[in-house]
Amino acid sequence: MTTIEVKRDGDVCQVCFQSEKGINVFSSRVIQSLGEQVSSIAESPELRYVVFGGCRTFVAGADIKEMSAFGPQEAREFARLGHSVFDAIERLPQVTFAAITGHALGGGCELALACDFRIATKNAKLGQPESRLGLIPGWGGTRRLVRLVGRSQALKLMLSGEHVDADEAARIGLIDEVVSDREELESILPRWYALMRQGSPKAIARIKRALLGADEIDEFAACFECEDGKEGMQAFLEKRPAGWMQA
């Protein structure tokens, strides 16, 4: 049985998936629980970074045993639930990371696709093998994979159902950085935080909204309604670091 553990440390939140057998899968119950945690994170302006994974293993996929008993209506409800949760992850105002150790297949890969950045250990395997089960990605994987790696590479991964290693995933743009092991993954994340820390949390949230279809002109104008816009420009003119407000 997969469980979710959430750890908060300052402005960083880590969402871990754990199982006694060492293989994490997404059942309806786990996805529902993940959605509840994501809702809580979205309402936490003190958080700037959210890491999904980074524990012993990532997520191997959906719970096939549970899915095998579905009829069309249950399948529709399961897909709708996963879509709502992964869409919520994509909309989080914080910077999100998938920290991939082990397998990120099917629903696990779709979770990674919903994050802003993906970092994987060398032993990681990624893929969308649903076609080998007579299925398709059901939680937004088709459109997110195309957006990330392009139509041709996305089709190759989905139609073949093949698993790719971390180096190949990095080559095609599926992941952003490859590290040797979990320890290096943990040590590399603070560098990513530092890279993003110079930006205003409110501006970062607005950039993410614009990328998801919000009106760019409206988001730009809104920057002038909040203190961060004034503070950022004034700090630039005064040649000093900006003091940002929470998102």
Question: The domain containing residue 206 runs over which residues?
Answer: 200-238
* pLDDT of 22: 81
Of 74, 77, 110, 238, which one is the catalytic site residue? 110
33 and 155 assigned to the same domain: yes
pLDDT digits (tens, 9 = 90+) for 33-92: 999 999 999 999 999 999 999 888 899 999 999 999 999 999 999 999 999 999 999 999
State yes or no: is 130 an active-site residue: yes
Of all residues in the chain, the percent with pLDDT exceeding 90 is: 89
Domains held by the chain: number? 2
Residues 22 and 139 in one domain: yes
Query: Does residue 92 share a domain with residue 72?
Result: yes
Question: Are both 192 and 205 inside the same structural domain?
Answer: no
pLDDT mean across residues, the chain: 95
- CATH number, position 104: 3.90.226.10
pLDDT at 246 over 80: no
Q: In this predicted structure, what is the pLDDT of residue 48?
A: 97
What pLDDT, on the 0 to 100 scale, is given for residue 247? Answer: 64
Q: Are residues 82 and 127 in the same domain?
A: yes
Q: Give the other-Cβ count within 10 Å of 236's Cβ.
A: 10
Taking every pair of Cα atoms in the chain, the longest distance, rounded to a whole number of angstroms, is 64
Query: In this structure, are 187 and 74 located in the same domain?
Result: yes
Residues 108, 191: one domain? yes
98/208 same-domain check: no
**Residues 145 and 83 occupy one common structural domain:** yes
What is the three-state SS of the chain? CEEEEEEEECCEEEEEEEECCCCCEECHHHHHHHHHHHHHHHCCCCCCEEEEECCCCCCCEECHHHHCCCCHHHHHHHHHHHHHHHHHHHCCCCEEEEEECCEEECHHHHHHHHCCEEEEECCCEEECHHHHHCCCCCCCHHHHHHHHHCHHHHHHHHHHCCCEEHHHHHHCCCCCEEECCHHHHHHHHHHHHHHHHCCCHHHHHHHHHHHCCCCHHHHHHHHHHCHHHHHHHHHHHHCCCCCCCCC
For 19-33, the pLDDT digits (tens) are 888 889 999 999 999
219 shares a domain with 102: no
Q: Which of 36, 130, 162, 216 is catalytic?
A: 130
Nearest to 112 by CA among 100, 102, 122: 100
Asked if residue 228 and residue 114 are part of one domain, the reply reads no
- Domain assignment present for 244: no
Q: Are residues 173 and 209 in the same domain?
A: no
Question: What backbone torsions phi and psi does residue 103 show, to the nearest 5 degrees?
Answer: -95, 140
The answer to whether position 247 is within a domain reads no
> pLDDT tens digits, residue range 177-235?
999 999 999 999 999 999 999 999 999 999 999 999 999 999 999 999 988 888 899 99
Residue 163 backbone dihedrals phi, psi, to 5 degrees? -100, 135
Catalytic (active site) residue 110: yes
- Mean pLDDT across 167-178: 98
